[in-house]
Amino acid sequence: MTIQEDAGKILLFIYDSYISNKAKPNAQILLDETKWDGKRIDRAIKYLNGMDAIEVIFTADNRMYGGLTRFILKKITPLGINIVENKPEFKRNFGFEVNVGLNPSVKLSWGATEK
């Protein structure tokens, strides 16, 4: 997996949480859901934040969860929503296709766990 692919999967998870009115994912939720190493999630979150697909606040105490810096997800941005809902744009940014279509609930396969 590349950072871009990981970021795409996490963005889909955040989008699904948003449209399903679920709680905003935090560091612990992502660790539990993905079963990925914390550093892997950390790179993907920082990538998404850097491309303005999400807005996060990294906490001042900088405690880590297995290499994942604690953060507060403020929101998925309009750019992030546009990327998820625009199939060619999503593929261009993350290297794989997704079709949100009329049933926007996204089923994710997190792939191999890396430690």
Is residue 39 exposed (0-12), middle (13-18) or buried (19+ Cβ within 10 Å)? middle
Domain membership flag for residue 37: yes
Which pLDDT value is given to residue 70?
87
Domain membership flag for residue 86: yes
Domain membership flag for residue 66: yes
Domain CATH code at residue 44: 1.10.10
How many structural domains comprise the chain?
1
Domain membership flag for residue 108: no
User: And the tokens for 90?
Assistant: 């999503």
The pLDDT tens digits for 28-82 are 899 999 999 999 999 999 999 999 999 999 887 766 677 888 899 999 999 999 9
